[in-house]
Amino acid sequence: MNVPLNFLLCGVGGQGIVLASDVLVAVGLLAGLNAKQAEVHGMSQRGGSVVSHVRWGREIYSPIVGWGEADVFIAFEKLEALRNLRFLRPSGLALISTQALEPLTVISGGQVYPDDSRLRAAFAQLTPHAHYLDAESIAAEVGNVRAVNTVLLGALSALLEANSRFAAWAPAPEIWLQVIAERVPSRHLDLNRQAFQAGRNAIAGPR
Amino acid sequence: MTVRQMLSGNEAIARGMWEAGVVVASAYPGTPSTEILENFARYPNVYAEWAPNEKVALDVAIGAAYAGRRALAAMKHVGLNVAADSLMYASMTGAEAGLVIVSADDPAMHSSQNEQDNRTYARFARIPCLEPSDSQEAKDLTVVAFELSEQFDTPVLLRVTTRICHSASPVELGERCERSSQTSPFPRNPAKYVMVPSNALRRHPVMEERIRAIADYAETFPYNRIELRDRSLGIITAGVAYQYTREVFPDASVLKLGMTWPLPEGLIRRFAASVDRLIVLEELDPFIEDVVKRMGIPCQGKDIFPLTGELDPYVVRLSAIQAGLLSDAAVPSIPTLEGDPLPARPPVLCPGCPHRPTFYVLNKLKVPVNGDIGCYTLGLVPPLSAIHTCGCMGAGIAVAHGAVQAGSPERHVAVIGDSTFFHTGIPALINVVYNQSPVVTVILDNRTTGMTGHQPNPGTGHTLQDKPAPTIEIEPLVRACGVKQVRTLSAFDVTGIEKTLKEYLQLNEPSVLIVQEPCALLPEARERWQPLEVNLAQCNGCTLCFRIGCPAILKSDELDEKTGRPKAQIDPNLCTGCELCAQICPRHAIPFRLDSIFLREAA
């Protein structure tokens, strides 16, 4: 734990990435670690690409993660997963939501959305630890597609536990749930609890 | 037990303001500074306001500090250009209580038109500049800024950058230092506070003497510190660059500057003498480096690290390797993506954005459009492509006027948002009337300050601290400026907007079209969201609706038999039911909201 653990979250403005990284950084702090987080607000959030950086460790300097230095890579959208591939540390852990959001350059600009085989090949070349999750459907089953971010956090919590390199870092599910409870409005709390558990189940199977 | 909380830099500055006993704060929203006032406004027993622009905000803070209260004005870097006039006189006068200006700079221009380095303003105005390197320092240096301000009778510039403002790290909280609840009588001290030439002549030497005294103080300022490690390399650094320095050069000796103006020349000399090789690692301008070189000390800086954009650990490491400061082995392996370049995902107007119909019409009319700063600048993005200039807040109307006076062969349209109109648009419109040019101004009134996240403004009827306020109506204001041709329409009235603009473009006098609808993301607009659907039997894949640039309209998998082109479909999770597409669809393949209800009931 002397070398920090670096997370990179990426996706599209409006997908709940900022809230997810708020939770992630607070989980690190509550688990007794130091933590830093960096993101950008403003113009980039109007449906554009969004990137958020989270680091856990004993002593952390830079708030942002360099290219090739993300130990854990969480993509909320497939095109953004490819776009931010350069952040992933080779053989790192990648969690990719299989949602596709076509940008206007595809809808009306004649550009081509990359196909799944390209996505999977690019990640397979880098790491044996790439996980694909239909988080949107899982969130819809739980009751609200907007809970995608909590589904992904649930999946992440289980992936950290299951990976021998990260198991020592993995906070208990109760810590995650406590932080989520502090951050979501109480009327959405049950939904988010279920979404978190559904994300965990998708990785680890139901308990 | 000390309370440790995860705070963004902006939240930490707000906390520092509260702990320092700040009573009055004023600001105009601007990324990356906005959350400072939003957070400060929630503390008890404080006054916080959104001013119409940064100059007004700074004058308000100056007035409060003259009245003996600790006061602060916050703004993004380019806001200080607007407030520069006030900064310069405040430096001449000083105040009766602490006065701090926060400048939130935006290296890499995440949400800005330039990346100017505002440390230069501190040197220009002869005031100290403090630069925190994380949230803890952001809070602590905010408190220190007020102490310094009062100790030396000077405004203090607290300079932060996007990566400080919008990064979160743990902060140990302190208590509020409550200050006397009694204000003294307002000072009657014209020699100090009335800057007519005779008084100003006497104040200027005071200002110069003051900055010399602060330079002496900087030598022992506790936030300027030497960290001696391996002496073969010494690095002078400040702000977030300190974090990158520690990340990339963990063994190097460091002179970490918490005050970057005035610089502690003695400390710099001592540090330089204790290391073999000296470099300066700073973002943007060679601000520290220039001083070190002028002192005759050999050092490197911008010959190694980039002058433009923001630094990050990767950029710093790569630059250091290229300069021979680090070995090749230190660079991590960067995954590269083979194959075709990926489709870009530029920020776009949201689904249901009330600005979209205006830009759809402007694109059709093919007129030159002089834009302004706000969400609506995104009218530039294809397929709308209907913004041709955008420089700074309030510029568009006057740029259009200038082009017309220069004999530009076409009629010019200026577009400006409600908040930007209040900010600096009004004088430009007065100029159009006074100097008579047939500029067509469109005021895009979405009832909020959209881009920065829905801050209230003089048109919204409430204040930052949620108090009711008089609503400044735009149409009477425009009429009072002397504009005779004024019309207010719904921002979704495509036919009306097109008809009015065509009419106004024929006139030989100034005209103003106000288009009004709340931002689609405001609660009152969200309540009315109701997604539309494409009637696939009617759609023939003409693609017209793809050309309004709405992210909710997608290509479906169904091809039209005749044209072979994909028919449209609407993402029900994104569509708000603004009906722009329904209005322009030549085949009426997208039923209006009311029609959709009837159709559903009939089915």
Report the CATH number at residue B243. Answer: 3.40.50.920
* DSSP 8-state class, residue B153: T
Range in A32-36, B216-220, B296-300 with the lowest mean pLDDT: A32-36
The whole-angstrom separation of Cα B388 and Cα B385 is 8
B94, B154 contact by CB (below 8 A): yes
Residues 120-139 of A with CB under 8 A from B: 122, 126
pLDDT at A47: 77
Answer yes or no: do B345 and A48 touch at CB < 8 A. Answer: yes
Same domain, B161 and B276: no
Residue A14 confidence (pLDDT): 83
Q: Average of pLDDT values for B428-450?
A: 96
Question: Same structural domain for residues B229 and B214?
Answer: no
Shortest distance between the Cα of B347 and any Cα of chain A, in A, equals: 4
CA distances from B285 to B16, B243, B282, B299 (A): 28, 18, 7, 15
Contact B166 A41 (CB under 8 A): yes
Task: Judge: B546–A107 Cβ closer than 8 Å, yes or no.
Answer: yes
- Report the residue from B343, B381, B452 with minimal CB separation from A106: B343
Domain final residue pick, B218, B233, B256 = B218
CB A122 within 8 A of CB A155: no
Contacts of A44 in chain B (CB under 8 A): 110-111, 347
Which residue type does B463 have?
T
| Chain B interface disruption, residue of A104, A111, A115, most B CBs within 10 A | A104
Q: Are residues B148 and B231 in the same domain?
A: no
> CA A23, CA A195: separation in Å to the nearest integer?
14
CB B271 within 8 A of CB B237: no
| Residue that terminates a domain, selected from B496, B524, B552 | B524
Give the per-residue pLDDT at B254: 98
For residue A169, give the nearest of A32, A69, A76 by alpha carbon.
A32
Of A98-112, B14-28, B143-157, B245-259, which range is least confident? A98-112
How many Å apart are CA A87 and CA A38, to the nearest integer? Answer: 14
Chain B positions touching A106 (Cβ under 8 A) are 343
Report how far residue B280's alpha carbon sits from residue B237's, in angstroms, rounded to the nearest whole number.
Answer: 6
Tokens (6 digits) for B164: 């400080």
Find where tokens 């939240």 sit: B11
Express each pLDDT in B494-504 by its tens digit. 999 999 999 99
- Number of neighbouring beta carbons within 10 Å of residue B425: 26
* pLDDT tens, residue by residue, A62-90: 999 999 999 999 999 999 999 999 999 99
Position B531 in a domain: no
Q: For the ranges A15-19, A106-110, B37-41, B73-77, which has the lowest average pLDDT?
A: A106-110
Residue A83 CA neighbour count, 13 Å, CB half: 21
CB-neighbour burial class of residue B103 (10 A; exposed 0-12, middle 13-18, buried 19+): buried
Residue from B401, B396, B400, B398 nearest B376 by CA: B396
Question: How high is the pLDDT of residue A107?
Answer: 82
Residues B517 and B561 reside in one and the same domain: no
Nearest chain A residue to B29 by CA distance is: A42
What does the block give as tokens for B391?
């420089």
Q: Is residue B344 part of a domain?
A: no
The whole-angstrom distance between B343's CA and the closest CA on chain A is 6
Out of A66, A79, A118, name the one closest to residue B345 (CB).
A79
Instruction: Please give the C-alpha separations between residue B303 and each of B268, B291, B298, B323, in angstroms, as whole numbers.
Output: 20, 15, 13, 9
**pLDDT tens-digit readout, B34-59:** 999 999 999 999 999 999 999 999 99
Q: Are residues B288 and B146 both part of a single domain?
A: no
B136 lies in the same domain as B178:
yes
Say if B350 falls within a structural domain. Answer: no
Per CB-CB distance under 8 Å, the chain B contacts of A66 are 312-314, 317, 332
In a domain, B134, yes or no: yes
- Residues A149-170 have pLDDT tens digits of 999 999 999 999 999 999 999 9
Range of the domain at B396: 356-524
Residues across chain B: 603
Q: Are strands B24-27 and B71-76 parallel, antiparallel or unpaired?
A: parallel
Which residues, including other chains, have CB under 8 Å from residue B183's CB and lie 6 or more apart?
A: B67, B68, B69
Q: How confident is the model at residue B181 (pLDDT cuts 50, 70, 90)?
A: low
Q: Answer for the pair B343, A79: CB distance below 8 angstroms, yes or no.
A: yes
Provide the pLDDT for residue B86. 98
Domains and CATH numbers, chain A: 5-204 (3.40.920.10)
Q: Which of B220-224, B226-230, B343-347, B477-481 has the lowest mean pLDDT?
A: B343-347
Longest Cα–Cα distance of chain A, Å, equals: 49
Q: How confident is the model at residue A44 (pLDDT cuts 50, 70, 90)?
A: low
Q: What is the domain-level CATH number for residue B65? A: 3.40.50.970
User: What residue in B sits closest to A127 (Cα-Cα)?
Assistant: B335
- Which residues, at least 6 apart from B171, have a Cβ–Cβ distance to it below 8 Å? B4, B5, B6, B7, B12, B15, B135, B136, B139
Half-sphere exposure of A193 (CA within 13 A, CB side): 11
Q: Domain ends where: B462, B495, B524?
A: B524
| Strand, coil or helix: B567 | strand
pLDDT tens for each residue of B295-336: 999 999 999 999 999 999 999 999 999 999 998 877 778 899
Note whether B378 and B520 are same-domain residues.
Answer: yes
B210 & B232 share domain: no
Residue A1: what pLDDT? Answer: 67
CA distance B489 to B491: 6
d(CA B293, CA B275): 16
Q: What is the mean pLDDT of chain B?
A: 95
**What angle, rounded to 10 degrees, do the helices at B197-218 and B135-152 form?**
130
Which candidate from A86, A113, A114 shows the least CB-CB separation from B336? A86
Confidence grade of residue B148 (pLDDT, cut at 50, 70, 90): very high
Whether residue B539 is contained in a domain is answered as: no
Report the complex ipTM. 0.93
Return the pLDDT at B600.
Answer: 67
Strands A5-12 and A49-57 turn out to be antiparallel
Residue B329 vs residues B279, B317, B321, B324: alpha-carbon distances, Å:
21, 11, 9, 12
CB within 8 Å: A43 and B555 = no
B111 touches A: beta carbon within 8 Å: yes
Do B427 and B558 fall within a single domain? no
Would you say residue B508 lies in a domain? yes
Same domain? B208 vs B289: no
B18 neighbors B72 (Cβ within 8 angstroms): no
- What CA–CA distances, in Å, run from B107 to A163, B48, B349? 37, 27, 24
The one-letter amino acid at B181: S
- With a cut of 70, say whether residue A16 has pLDDT above it: yes
Residue B369 Cα distances to B191, B400, B412, angstroms: 49, 8, 6
Q: Count of CB atoms within 10 A of residue A105's CB?
A: 19
Task: State how beta strands B277-281 and B230-238 pair.
Answer: parallel
pLDDT in the model for residue B518: 96
Give the per-residue pLDDT at B251: 96
- Listed in order, strand segments (DSSP E) in A58-164 are 70-75, 88-97, 130-133
Task: Calculate the alpha carbon distances from B481 to A151, B358, B402 in Å.
Answer: 54, 23, 19
| pLDDT at residue number B21 | 96
Is residue B155 domain-shared with residue B23, that is, in the same domain?
A: yes
Indicate whether B342 belongs to any domain: no
Domain count, chain B: 4
Q: Mean pLDDT for chain A?
A: 93
Sequence-separated (6 or more) residues with CB below 8 Å from residue B290: none
Residues B20-31: what's their mean pLDDT?
97
A68 and B333 in contact by Cβ < 8 A?
yes
What digits encode the pLDDT tens for the residues A167-185?
999 999 999 999 999 999 9
Residue B190 and residue B118 in one domain: yes
d(C-alpha A136, C-alpha A195), whole Å:
11
Separation between Cα atoms, residue B161 and residue B67, nearest integer Å:
30
Considering only residues B177 and B71, tell me which one the structure prediction assigns the higher pLDDT: B71
Residue A206: predicted pLDDT:
60
Report residue B36: phi and psi, to 5°.
Answer: -60, -55
In a domain, B258, yes or no: yes
Give the DSSP H/E element, type plus range, for residue B570: strand B566-570
